[in-house]
């Protein structure tokens, strides 16, 4: 069905426009532990309305204590650092034959195709913007400084 | 920037007082000069520009006059005016705007990695040209290939000028032994006999190394290769002599790194191109700055690496060092404090950022309490590999604003810069890099380094980075590099001095005109270094425990 729908709008099946893009960018912070009641859960920083713009608190009704701020900020910072590192280590793939690039110096694949990043800059930076929004709304200053640098905004 | 070469017109002002006249006559006579009336007025007018530092200005004036070729010891207005204009120019030159920070009292220019200009080589026109346009932190696929291609091109164009590798103009003149022409890997196919190739060591297949050049790749066998000094690490560019076997493998007999090029030779070919980032100096200016550099006998840089702000002992030790320099006759002009600034690395286990911020503030207080240092020294901060920040890829940006704000309140003119960074002192080019390179390079070696010339690993390290013209020729998987900013790590033309701050023991090594030293870990070993740029002397120091 997807093929037919795409045919209707005249988009090639494997073109970038055809890739599914989640309309609401989301990010899940895994294994967040409450220092008061030891509850452990994943937090969806974008989709969970209780987290938007408020101080983050434990969701357990009997607890409700705020999460440790510096711990949260650091958890996010480490994810940002890891993703940034991975950007520069990522594989390059041939646009034509999809093979992963092995050589360093060459600009063309053996099949004659050119290479592209597995994760391109606009996608990467889009994900980083989510972190910036969180940092601004939660007033995580160090995280803000770091993500601003990555996004090349002042 | 432009400035007038003619001396400034004398400002209409009150004639010098009798006391001033007497003082000037006396001081000049002590130096063997006699001042004519108009010369005295000229000198007095010059001193009036520095009401807070009259004695220093007078000494400066007298020093400069000593160096001037004078016809007689009787000074007239012109003689004094000439020297005055020279000094005024020097002062104005320092004030000129530039993308890099300048120090107030000397021709000290600090260049952040992210503003260093980038150049590409045009192999057809045989010239370098500057990259125009923005350099994205997050590049495209082509940018990654360009990183390797640019590195290779810098070394290839240099090799082409080397007398052993340049193509002979007349085939009959050079015998096979004297000249070793590089064969492109593409044209290696079907070749027999001894050949020279130059390529990047790449592991294109599991357990099989290749050499890659701009034309292709060939598998190599290094099992019996005789090597020169250095760490032969994957991703370094090597020149290999050997033979292509029928199996298609190039058996390497001998290999080494591309030969070094004299700094002066490189500079003469890059006339007008600002490879270092400190601004291009026209030749006349270079001579003048060079002479100022030679006279800067009192300038000294103190370099400390691993300054752990969260360690009581380290801060105590730092206090001892600062007190020591606070009490010397002439305080150091520059303190370079390098990371890591915390005993614990920035990872999931460490989150005391606010505490770290306060600790930076305490450091600021500590420095400010040494009033002479605060007044006359500059403080430069370079982050270490484990300091908090957005990325571990190189080049690493300056310490985050959040961490340094408290310190800035105490030392407003402190300079925060990238790792690595460059410093220009008059004409001298100095590169600072904080990285535990020695251990990583030794681990990543494909062949154990030869002990023929030296068994000192630091010397092997210096040989490697200078021949590769790159501060960190490790595989990108071991040390990621921002693809569009690889040029900030390059050492071409070879700088005058390289500071390689490493956690291994402190060392200094002079290698073909380049000085390279490691101040050692201040936190772990209580070692640091003092450097006199005027004489290029390094003093490896240690605190007694």
ipTM of the complex: 0.83
- Do residue B303 and residue B428 come from a single domain? yes
Integer Cα distance of B432 and B437 in angstroms:
13
Tokens 């990654």 belong to which residue? B144
CB B143 within 8 A of CB B451: no
For testing contact with chain B, the best of A71, A94, A104, A120 (most B CBs within 10 A): A104
For testing contact with chain B, the best of A35, A67, A142, A144 (most B CBs within 10 A): A142
CB B5 within 8 A of CB B284: no
- Check pLDDT > 70 for residue B184: yes
- Do residue B231 and residue B292 come from a single domain? no
> Cβ contact (<8 Å) for B393 and A88?
yes
**What percentage of chain B has pLDDT greater than the value 70?**
90
Average pLDDT (B2-25) is: 60
List phi, psi (to 5°) of B367. Answer: -70, -45
Q: Which of B391, B403, B483 lies closest to A81 in CB terms?
A: B391
Q: How far does B113 lie from chain A, in Å, by closest CA?
A: 14
Q: Does any domain span residue B328? A: yes
Average pLDDT (B106-110) is: 79
pLDDT digits (tens, 9 = 90+) for B294-353: 888 889 999 999 999 999 999 999 999 999 999 999 999 999 999 999 999 999 999 999
- Do residue B378 and residue B422 come from a single domain? yes
**Non-local CB neighbours of B349 within 8 Å, separated by 6+ positions:** none
Which residues 461-490 on chain B approach chain A with CB closer than 8 angstroms?
476-477, 480-483
- Do residue B386 and residue B289 come from a single domain? yes
Q: Does A107 touch chain B (CB under 8 A)?
A: yes
Question: The tokens of B87 are what?
Answer: 């000094």
- Do residue B304 and residue B403 come from a single domain? yes
> Cβ contact (<8 Å) for A81 and B392?
yes
Q: How far does A64 lie from chain B, in Å, by closest CA?
A: 22
Q: Does A71 touch chain B (CB under 8 A)?
A: yes
- Do residue B207 and residue B347 come from a single domain? no
Range of the domain at B196: 130-168+179-272
Residue B240 belongs to a domain with what CATH number?
A: 2.40.50.140
Nearest CA in chain B to A152: B137
Question: What is the predicted pLDDT for the residue at B88?
Answer: 66
- H or E, element range at A61: none
Q: Which of B204, B388, B481 lies closest to A102 in CB terms?
A: B204
- Do residue B308 and residue B405 come from a single domain? yes
How far from B281 is each of B1, B72, B304, B424, CA to CA, in Å? 11, 33, 30, 11
CB B398 within 8 A of CB B384: no
Q: Does A102 touch chain B (CB under 8 A)?
A: yes
DSSP string, B27-84: HHHHTT-EE-HHHHHHHHHHHHT-TT-HHHHHHHHHHHHHHS--S-SEE-HHHHHHHH
- Do residue B217 and residue B318 come from a single domain? no
Q: What is the DSSP letter of B344?
A: S
Question: What is the predicted pLDDT for the residue at B101?
Answer: 40
Question: The tokens of B230 are what?
Answer: 């250095």
> Cβ contact (<8 Å) for A70 and B481?
no
Q: Does A41 touch chain B (CB under 8 A)?
A: no
Q: Does A117 touch chain B (CB under 8 A)?
A: yes
pLDDT digits (tens, 9 = 90+) for B302-316: 999 999 999 999 999
> Cβ contact (<8 Å) for A70 and B213?
no
Strand partners, B432: B421, B499
Q: Does A114 touch chain B (CB under 8 A)?
A: yes
> Cβ contact (<8 Å) for B149 and A105?
yes
Q: Does any domain span residue B474? A: no
Question: The tokens of B163 are what?
Answer: 């007398």
Q: Does any domain span residue B442? A: no
Number of domains in chain B: 3
Average pLDDT (B428-442) is: 97
> Cβ contact (<8 Å) for B403 and A142?
yes
> Cβ contact (<8 Å) for B353 and A85?
no
Q: Does B448 touch chain A (CB under 8 A)?
A: no
- H or E, element range at B221: strand B217-221
Least confident of B5-19, B72-86, B188-202: B5-19
Average pLDDT (B461-470) is: 97
Q: Does A44 touch chain B (CB under 8 A)?
A: no
Integer Cα distance of B213 and B408 in angstroms:
48
Integer Cα distance of B430 and B453 in angstroms:
26
Listed residue (B306, B210, B259) closest to B504, CA to CA: B306
Question: The tokens of B298 are what?
Answer: 């009192």
For testing contact with chain A, the best of B139, B141, B237, B486 (most A CBs within 10 A): B141
Q: How many CB atoms lie within 10 A of CB A37?
A: 13
CB B170 within 8 A of CB B181: no
Residues of chain B in contact with residue A84, where contact means CB-CB under 8 angstroms, are: 390-391, 393
Question: What is the predicted pLDDT for the residue at B326?
Answer: 96
- Do residue B484 and residue B404 come from a single domain? yes
- Higher-scoring residue by pLDDT: B87, B128: B128
- Do residue B490 and residue B372 come from a single domain? yes
B535: exposed, middle or buried (Cβ count in 10 Å: 0-12, 13-18, 19+): exposed
> Cβ contact (<8 Å) for B390 and A80?
yes
- H or E, element range at B260: none
- H or E, element range at A32: strand A28-33
> Cβ contact (<8 Å) for B353 and A70?
yes
**Non-local CB neighbours of A2 within 8 Å, separated by 6+ positions:** A13
CB B235 within 8 A of CB B486: no
**Non-local CB neighbours of B121 within 8 Å, separated by 6+ positions:** B127, B128, B150, B153, B154, B157
| Mean pLDDT rounded to a whole number for chain B | 88
Question: What is the predicted pLDDT for the residue at B98?
Answer: 40
- Do residue B518 and residue B534 come from a single domain? yes
Question: What is the predicted pLDDT for the residue at B302?
Answer: 98
Domain boundary among B239, B272, B305: B272
- The torsion angle over the Cα atoms of residues B390, B391, B394 and B398, rounded to 10 degrees, is 20
- Do residue B140 and residue B238 come from a single domain? yes
Q: How far does B465 lie from chain A, in Å, by closest CA?
A: 20
State pTM to two decimals: 0.81
Domain boundary among B248, B272, B296: B272
Helix ranges (H only) for B238-352 are 263-269, 283-295, 312-326
Question: What is the predicted pLDDT for the residue at B258?
Answer: 95
Average pLDDT (B397-406) is: 97
- H or E, element range at B87: helix B77-95
Q: Does B112 touch chain A (CB under 8 A)?
A: no
Domain boundary among B216, B251, B272: B272
Q: Which of B202, B347, B388 lies closest to A103 in CB terms?
A: B202
> Cβ contact (<8 Å) for B348 and A78?
yes
């Amino acid at each position: 069905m997807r093929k037919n729908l795409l045919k209707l709008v005249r988009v090639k099946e494997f073109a970038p426009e055809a890739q599914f893009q989640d309309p609401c960018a989301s990010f899940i912070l895994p294994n967040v532990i409450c220092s008061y009641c030891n509850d452990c859960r994943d937090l969806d920083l974008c989709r969970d309305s209780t987290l938007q713009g408020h101080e983050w608190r434990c969701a357990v009704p009997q607890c409700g204590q705020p999460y440790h701020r510096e711990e949260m900020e650091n958890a996010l910072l480490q994810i940002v650092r890891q993703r940034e590192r991975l950007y520069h280590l990522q594989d390059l793939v041939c646009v034509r034959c999809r093979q992963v690039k092995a050589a360093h110096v060459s600009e063309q694949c053996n099949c004659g195709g050119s290479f592209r990043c597995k994760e391109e800059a606009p996608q990467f930076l889009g994900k980083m913007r989510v972190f910036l929004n969180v940092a601004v709304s939660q007033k995580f200053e160090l995280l803000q400084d770091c993500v601003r640098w990555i996004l090349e905004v002042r | 920037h432009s400035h007038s070469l003619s001396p400034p017109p004398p400002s209409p002002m009150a004639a010098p007082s009798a006391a001033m006249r007497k003082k000037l006559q006396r001081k000049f006579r002590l130096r063997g000069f006699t001042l004519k009336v108009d010369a005295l007025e000229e000198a007095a007018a010059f001193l009036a520009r520095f009401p807070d530092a009259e004695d220093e200005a007078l000494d400066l004036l007298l020093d400069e006059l000593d160096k001037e070729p004078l016809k007689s010891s009787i000074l007239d207005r012109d003689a004094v005016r000439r020297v005055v204009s020279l000094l005024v120019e020097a002062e104005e030159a320092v004030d000129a705007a530039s993308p890099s920070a300048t120090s107030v009292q000397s021709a000290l220019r600090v260049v952040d990695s992210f503003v260093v200009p980038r150049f590409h080589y045009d192999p057809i026109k045989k010239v370098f040209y500057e990259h125009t346009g923005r350099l994205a932190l997050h590049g495209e696929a082509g940018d990654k290939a360009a990183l390797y291609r640019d590195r290779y091109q810098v070394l290839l164009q240099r090799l082409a000028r080397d007398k052993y590798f340049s193509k002979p103009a007349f085939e009959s003149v050079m015998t096979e032994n004297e000249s070793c022409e590089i064969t492109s890997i593409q044209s290696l196919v079907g070749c027999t006999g001894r050949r020279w190739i130059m390529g990047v060591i790449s592991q294109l297949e599991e357990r099989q190394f290749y050499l890659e050049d701009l034309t292709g790749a060939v598998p190599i066998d290094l099992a019996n290769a005789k090597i020169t000094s250095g760490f032969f690490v994957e991703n370094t560019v090597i020149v290999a002599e050997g033979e292509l076997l029928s199996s298609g493998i190039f058996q390497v007999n001998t290999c080494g790194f591309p030969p070094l090029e004299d700094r002066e030779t490189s500079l003469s070919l890059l006339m007008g191109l600002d490879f270092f980032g400190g601004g291009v100096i026209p030749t006349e200016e270079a001579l003048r700055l060079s002479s100022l550099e030679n006279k800067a006998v009192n300038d000294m840089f103190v370099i400390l690496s691993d300054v752990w702000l969260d360690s009581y002992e380290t801060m105590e030790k730092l206090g001892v060092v600062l007190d020591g320099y606070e009490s010397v006759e002439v305080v150091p002009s520059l303190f370079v404090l390098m990371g890591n600034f915390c005993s614990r690395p920035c990872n999931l286990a460490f989150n005391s950022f606010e505490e770290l911020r306060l600790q930076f503030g305490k450091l600021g207080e500590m420095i400010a309490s040494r009033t002479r240092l605060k007044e006359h020294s500059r403080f430069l901060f370079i982050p270490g590999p484990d300091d908090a920040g957005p990325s571990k890829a190189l080049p690493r940006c300056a310490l985050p604003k959040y961490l340094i704000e408290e310190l800035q309140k105490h030392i407003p003119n402190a300079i925060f810069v990238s790792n690595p960074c460059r410093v220009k002192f008059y004409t001298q080019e100095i590169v600072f890099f904080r990285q535990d390179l020695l251990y990583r390079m030794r681990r990543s070696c494909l062949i154990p380094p030869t002990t023929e010339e030296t068994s000192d690993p630091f010397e092997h390290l210096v040989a490697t980075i200078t021949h590769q013209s790159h501060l960190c020729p490790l595989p990108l998987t071991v040390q990621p590099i921002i693809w569009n900013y690889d040029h900030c790590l390059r050492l071409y033309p070879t700088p005058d001095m390289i500071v390689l701050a490493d956690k291994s023991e402190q060392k200094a090594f002079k290698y073909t005109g380049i000085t390279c030293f490691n101040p050692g870990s201040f936190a772990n070993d209580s070692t640091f270094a003092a450097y006199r740029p005027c004489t290029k002397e390094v003093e490896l120091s240690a605190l007694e425990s």
